[in-house]
């Protein structure tokens, strides 16, 4: 779920803000994590639409989008 990913990114950014004095790097990390979660969500939606109608396509789409983001 992209909403949960964004929520985790924001929560961890708030925690890091307290422990990391370099706020500039925190902003860069937050922007990167939000961009990554957006790319994951859009990739998952594109795969899900392309494979609509086949059994279990949602789970395969999520797995494929996740491993694509790691590559």
Q: What is the pLDDT of residue 31?
A: 79
Q: How many domains does the chain have?
A: 1
Question: Distances in Å between the alpha carbon of 34 and those of 10, 28, 58?
Answer: 9, 10, 22
Question: Crossing angle, helix 2-19 and helix 23-50, to 10 degrees?
Answer: 170
User: What does the pLDDT look like over 24-68, one tens digit per residue?
Assistant: 677 777 778 888 888 888 888 887 777 765 555 555 555 655 555
Global confidence as pTM: 0.42
| Residue 34 neighbours by CB distance under 10 Å | 15
Q: What is the pLDDT of residue 59?
A: 57
Domain, as residue range, for 11: 2-70
In contact, 51 and 57? CB cutoff 8 Å: yes
């Amino acid at each position: 779920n992209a909403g949960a990913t964004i929520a985790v990114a924001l929560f961890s950014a708030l925690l890091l803000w307290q422990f990391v004095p370099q706020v500039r790097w925190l902003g860069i990390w937050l922007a990167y994590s939000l961009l990554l979660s957006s790319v994951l969500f859009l990739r998952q939606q594109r795969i899900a639409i392309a494979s609509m109608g086949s059994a279990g396509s949602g789970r395969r789409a999520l797995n494929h989008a996740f491993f694509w983001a790691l590559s």
